[in-house]
Structure 1
């Protein structure tokens, strides 16, 4: 099974970026984000015979149109000045062909499939932040059956998942045969965050990713929690909410995973418990009052750090872990809503979670886990004219103690992409609670 790269080129915006938009200053939130690429691969199944003949040019043309709207993605990040030079140098666009069918790839055992993800992406996750690194890479790979995969890497200095989805849906809408002006308007970006929350020229404390992961062997596994398993977890949780909400599937799965992590860490520390921290990404668009639109682009995220003390880990059950996670997100809700109001800009409130995350991550006497949830985001439905994706994946991360959550294909379950060392991964696979709920 081989994937062959045929051509690589820089795709520029259809229309040149006006001079008054040439320098895009990053925002306060962008400043907190490490220089890395966020990978996403969408897989499409089609039996149309003419797909391979026109798909590369078709997607290139619509990509160029979308870059006119998302002009910073065609620029280059200048680290010294903390701005994007919107020079229209372009996004890197790679065309590739696979000598096998999409169904063959999807049917591979996990280890083989995971190792092939690198070949479906246009670059390494760490290839970001230098002055000649594109802000967006795209790789379109066609399969013998007519199916294809779109592998994308977005510079995190500009793009959080909400921004990525706005771009993907803009591109997908432009790729469809029938023009839909109202749909396109929903996915037209708003680049107002740097104006409303200007950069503070803070010291860049974000970790540096290695440029390549070739020598890094970090095991990853998908633990699939189907909708019926999540329903069983809900039955174990007492949830007090006068608004009629029920426990979210994300926090239920996280509570179960974190409970297992704490138990495994104790076993590997000769029966001694350490403090355990779990950091979750938080989409601030949902925290503002009133809620801000999804097409507000740029990073508009924070983190919520939950903590279990050594003396607590042995004495709390799934309910306890769930409550700690829920409270860690809720504790900043009121402060966030005030700090995000027009004229608020309470930077001390906004910077506190980032500092808490960084300080705890580098401590040697604690166990620290980072979680990102991509559940409920719209990339699952991106239709470029050939239907919705039949699967989606990330790429290989040079990371440990890292979890990405995504919706399963049915939408009511969760795929947990877990990155651990080999020993703890095996222990997690044998964990009683994980085996009870995960496929």
Structure 2
């Protein structure tokens, strides 16, 4: 459904205390450098907490003051990326905090979520290169529905942090809002672990006519897919993400007849958290782009799950050490694709499953849904836990023509639980 969203105010929220001069120049890491300029973004939905005007004012003020306090812990987020994109000027300039009214019931969105429309609940465009927001690292939009439900739309620049960094900020902000004082403060040392270096500017993603659709796989269907792809796997039973990646890849290959296109080199890429793979392991509170890419060059003759798993295993402590010593984490990909005879087709996966996505309690309970948005990146699937934690939502982005074919695949749809309504 189309959303009528009207922004009624915009403020700049600054840290509650000034950043120490010794911390003013925050250096980006090598992995930050290689990350394109776009936002990690989500919307958190809560029911009927703003059903009277006084509640709206109270909750808005609580969020505003707690943001200010959270920015003292996450001081780089209140600064601005410098022109060279190598440093953040931690100048306490502050972050945009918008208030908006949504002319519908929250239940209307939950029963028929449309990814493109959900972007209206965010403070920024998803792709920011060349816009006024290009150097802003964080923005928040407080959306109030006619029924009193709210949606908190949050954008954090991917240039400074990955998905786990995103959740670290949101959950500490929520802890501050509900009055907690025993906080796990973030660690900002990624540049010391992965020192910056002279490399070409990170590629900027093209804005294309992309369609994002949300497919829900319930717990029973996920288990069926795991059994299906575990039958011929040479090792342990596949994880949910391994099995669903293989299944979606197979449906993509079938929909576009890739098996009959021998000159097309196919690659599967998974974003992988490096915190547990570095020696010694890093805590989850470590802030930055602490991830790398597991690259699979799929062979149609071998079990795809085994190939994906092997690409994950290659990102071990030895691999991380090479990254720290200066190896390009895209070197393997470039070496394998340099000899491609024809088209190179890349399909990417990123998983937010098992991350603390539903912990954002600002004092009125946990969200009834945490949603992704239309990320506008071609051939990318984002996995997220359903609200009950058993099933998986797959947010899949393809161009319009490809999505029309993919969305009609009978085997895909046989495993999908009502792809429109929210599965609780």
Residue matched to 1:97? 101
Residue matched to 1:149? 151
1:150-299 maps to which residues of 2 (within 5 A)? 150-176=152-178, 179-182=179-182, 184=183, 186=184, 188-210=185-207, 216-236=208-228, 237-238=230-231, 246-266=237-257, 274-299=264-289
Secondary structure of the residue that 2:329 maps to in structure 1? helix
Structure 1: distance between partners of 2:391 and 2:263: 31
1:330 aligned onto 2:313: yes
Residue matched to 1:213? none
Structure 1 runs not aligned, ≥5 long: 211-215
Q: Tell me the CA shift for residue 304 of structure 1.
A: 0.6
Structure 2 runs not aligned, ≥5 long: 418-424
CA contact under 8 A between 1:360 and 1:368: conserved in structure 2? Answer: no
1:121-140 maps to which residues of 2 (within 5 A)? 121-128=122-129, 133-140=135-142
Alignment root-mean-square deviation, CA: 2.5
Could you say if the C-alpha distance between residues 357 and 84 of structure 1 is closer, same or farther in structure 2, counting changes exceeding 3 Å?
farther
Structure 2: distance between partners of 1:220 and 1:362: 32
Secondary structure of the residue that 2:269 maps to in structure 1? strand
Q: Tell me the CA shift for residue 77 of structure 1.
A: 0.5
Structure 1: distance between partners of 2:7 and 2:414: 42
Q: Please give the per-residue CA displacement for 1:370-392, whole angstroms capped at 9, x wherever unaligned.
A: 21111111122211112111112
Structure 2: distance between partners of 1:93 and 1:354: 40
CA contact under 8 A between 1:403 and 1:417: conserved in structure 2? Answer: yes
Q: Please give the per-residue CA displacement for 1:242-275, whole angstroms capped at 9, x wherever unaligned.
A: xxx74211111101011111222326x9765732
Q: Please give the per-residue CA displacement for 1:271-305, whole angstroms capped at 9, x wherever unaligned.
A: 65732111110100021234210000011110011
In the superposition, the TM-score normalised over structure 1's length comes to 0.86
Q: Tell me the CA shift for residue 399 of structure 1.
A: 2.0
CA contact under 8 A between 1:23 and 1:83: conserved in structure 2? Answer: yes
Structure 2: distance between partners of 1:144 and 1:56: 16
CA contact under 8 A between 1:46 and 1:386: conserved in structure 2? Answer: no
Could you say if the C-alpha distance between residues 396 and 135 of structure 1 is closer, same or farther in structure 2, counting changes exceeding 3 Å?
same
CA contact under 8 A between 1:13 and 1:90: conserved in structure 2? Answer: yes
Q: Tell me the CA shift for residue 306 of structure 1.
A: 0.6
Equivalent residue pairs, number = 409
Could you say if the C-alpha distance between residues 173 and 128 of structure 1 is closer, same or farther in structure 2, counting changes exceeding 3 Å?
farther
Structure 2: distance between partners of 1:129 and 1:355: 31
Residue matched to 1:411? 389
Could you say if the C-alpha distance between residues 217 and 131 of structure 1 is closer, same or farther in structure 2, counting changes exceeding 3 Å?
closer
Q: Tell me the CA shift for residue 362 of structure 1.
A: 12
Q: Please give the per-residue CA displacement for 1:323-378, whole angstroms capped at 9, x wherever unaligned.
A: 111111112324235447xxxx3222xx2336626985997512211211111111
Q: Please give the per-residue CA displacement for 1:9-48, whole angstroms capped at 9, x wherever unaligned.
A: 2111000111111110101111111111121111111355
Matching residue within 391, 407, 414 for 1:436? 414
Structure 2: distance between partners of 1:199 and 1:362: 29
1:384 aligned onto 2:362: yes
Structure 1: distance between partners of 2:382 and 2:148: 30
Structure 1: distance between partners of 2:22 and 2:243: 47
Q: Tell me the CA shift for residue 208 of structure 1.
A: 4.4
Matching residue within 332, 339, 347 for 2:326? 347
Q: Tell me the CA shift for residue 119 of structure 1.
A: 1.4
Could you say if the C-alpha distance between residues 403 and 287 of structure 1 is closer, same or farther in structure 2, counting changes exceeding 3 Å?
same
Q: Tell me the CA shift for residue 114 of structure 1.
A: 2.8
Judge which range, 49-58 or 352-361, deviates more: 352-361
